[in-house]
């Protein structure tokens, strides 16, 4: 229950709008992935035409929405549509990876007024603040990362390093794709959202990506300027165990959870032989031998 005509009510309406925006981003990403797989667009029933009263309601700003907008304005928040290039970002420094630069992001960010510093980043592609960083993939790179497991390893490390990691999928898919099922893609999206707690955003071009990053940068800057108490980013023991197990070859968050549940600890996993590891659902001989080898290989020793 929320009290009427209060800030709580304004935040409620604001959060609902943000939720709808996230749903639109996920719908956009789903359409791109279906196109990449060569699948036809989802068939949806055509919406009924709006009545005159419904149109008037859509065009009218309600008191609740007006209050919500006023609260958002006080906090310095703007939507992407409201954001203007070079507004508040003139001369601000931002760090990006060489990979992001090759995707055309450096020129777009400099066009938005940022002083761009290109640096070799281990996991992130753009560092927005000490708390927020983004990994950027094209649709093709995202699908390839699902196939070889690299996208999960990157996000796991990003989650460990930053309090609020973001995954940005940029651009339209290339090529006609195939008729292969897309269940793996949707399972991967579910894992990113549910298990990794990573925000997923979809953009159509480097220009849109730069605009989104500029907006995130401005909002994060406003939050940092008003923050006095440092944020605790240390993982709890269970999350730290999950993170360590996910660093093993071809081990996703789901497999890491199954391994820890079966063997009870990282030591239990290390003591298991290949046959015991293969009794875990989803682990075959290749993954089992990979885990077994890494946990017994001396540091600096090359695989023979």
User: Do 274 and 241 fall into the same domain?
Assistant: yes
Lowest mean pLDDT among 141-155, 178-192, 254-268, 281-295: 178-192
Residue 3 is assigned to a structural domain of this protein: no
Domain at 289, CATH number: 1.10.150.20
More confident call, 58 vs 36: 36
3-state secondary structure of 155: helix
Residue 301 is assigned to a structural domain of this protein: no
Distance CA 30, CA 26 (A): 6
User: Do 211 and 252 fall into the same domain?
Assistant: no
The C-alpha torsion from 146 through 152 and 154 to 157, rounded to 10°, is 180
Q: What's the rounded mean pLDDT across residues 56-63?
A: 50
pTM of the model: 0.48
Give 63's pLDDT tier (boundaries 50, 70, 90).
low
Select from 199, 225, 251 the last residue of a domain: 225
User: Do 125 and 249 fall into the same domain?
Assistant: no
More confident call, 130 vs 232: 130
Residue 84 is assigned to a structural domain of this protein: no
The domain of 197 spans 93-225
3-state secondary structure of 181: coil
Res. 261: pLDDT tops 90? yes
Distance CA 206, CA 62 (A): 35
Select from 169, 198, 225 the last residue of a domain: 225
Select from 225, 251, 279 the last residue of a domain: 225
User: Do 209 and 131 fall into the same domain?
Assistant: yes
User: Do 102 and 217 fall into the same domain?
Assistant: yes
**pLDDT tens digit sequence for 110-169:** 988 899 999 988 889 999 988 889 999 888 888 888 777 788 888 888 888 888 888 888
Residue 255 is assigned to a structural domain of this protein: yes
User: Do 198 and 263 fall into the same domain?
Assistant: no
Domain at 219, CATH number: 3.40.50.10130
User: Do 211 and 271 fall into the same domain?
Assistant: no
Q: What's the rounded mean pLDDT across residues 169-186?
A: 55
Do the bridges between strand 93-96 and strand 126-127 make them parallel or antiparallel, or are there none, so unpaired?
A: antiparallel
User: Do 99 and 165 fall into the same domain?
Assistant: yes
Total domains, the chain: 2
Q: What's the confidence (pLDDT) of residue 98?
A: 93
Q: What's the confidence (pLDDT) of residue 267?
A: 92
Written as six digits, the tokens of 86 are 């070079």
Chain centroid, CA 18 distance in Å: 15
User: Do 162 and 264 fall into the same domain?
Assistant: no
CA distances (Å), origin 49, targets 117, 146, 225: 51, 40, 47
Residue 63 is assigned to a structural domain of this protein: no
CA distances (Å), origin 24, targets 28, 73, 203, 240: 6, 23, 11, 33
User: Do 176 and 219 fall into the same domain?
Assistant: yes
Residue 112 is assigned to a structural domain of this protein: yes
Q: What's the confidence (pLDDT) of residue 53?
A: 55
User: Do 173 and 256 fall into the same domain?
Assistant: no
Residue 157 is assigned to a structural domain of this protein: yes
Give 95's pLDDT tier (boundaries 50, 70, 90).
very high
Residue 45 is assigned to a structural domain of this protein: no
Give 70's pLDDT tier (boundaries 50, 70, 90).
low
Q: What's the confidence (pLDDT) of residue 279?
A: 93
User: Do 264 and 149 fall into the same domain?
Assistant: no
Res. 7: pLDDT tops 60? no
Lowest mean pLDDT among 81-95, 174-188, 244-258: 174-188
Ramachandran angles phi, psi of 289, nearest 5°: -65, -35
Q: What's the confidence (pLDDT) of residue 67?
A: 56
**pLDDT tens digit sequence for 197-218:** 778 888 888 998 998 899 888 8
């Amino acid at each position: 229950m929320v009290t009427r005509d209060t800030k709580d009510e304004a935040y409620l309406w604001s959060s609902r709008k943000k939720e709808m925006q996230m749903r639109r981003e996920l719908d956009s990403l789903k359409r791109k992935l279906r196109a990449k797989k060569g699948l036809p667009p989802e068939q949806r029933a055509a919406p009924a035409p709006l009545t005159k009263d419904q149109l008037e309601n859509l065009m009218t700003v309600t008191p609740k929405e007006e209050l919500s907008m006023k609260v958002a304005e006080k906090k310095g928040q703007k939507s992407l549509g409201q954001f203007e290039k070079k507004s508040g970002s003139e001369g601000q420094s931002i760090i990006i990876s060489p990979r992001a630069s090759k995707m055309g992001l450096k020129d777009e960010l400099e066009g938005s007024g940022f002083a761009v510093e290109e640096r070799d980043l281990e996991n992130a592609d753009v560092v927005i603040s000490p708390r927020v960083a983004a990994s950027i993939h094209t649709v093709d790179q995202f699908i390839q990362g699902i196939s070889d497991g690299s996208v999960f390893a990157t996000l796991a490390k990003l989650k460990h390093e930053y309090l609020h990691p973001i995954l940005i999928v940029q651009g339209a898919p290339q090529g006609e794709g195939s008729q292969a099922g897309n269940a793996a893609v949707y399972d991967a999206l579910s894992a990113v959202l549910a298990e990794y707690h990573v925000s997923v955003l979809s953009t159509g071009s480097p220009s849109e990506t730069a605009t989104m990053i500029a907006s995130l940068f401005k909002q994060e800057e406003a939050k940092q300027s008003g923050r006095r108490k440092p944020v605790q980013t240390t993982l709890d023991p269970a999350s730290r165990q999950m993170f360590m197990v996910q660093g093993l070859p071809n081990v996703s968050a789901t497999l890491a959870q199954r391994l820890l549940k079966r063997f009870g600890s990282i030591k239990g996993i290390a003591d298991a032989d290949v046959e015991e590891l293969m009794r875990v659902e989803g682990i075959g001989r290749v993954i089992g031998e990979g885990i077994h080898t890494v946990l017994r290989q001396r540091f600096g020793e090359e695989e023979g």
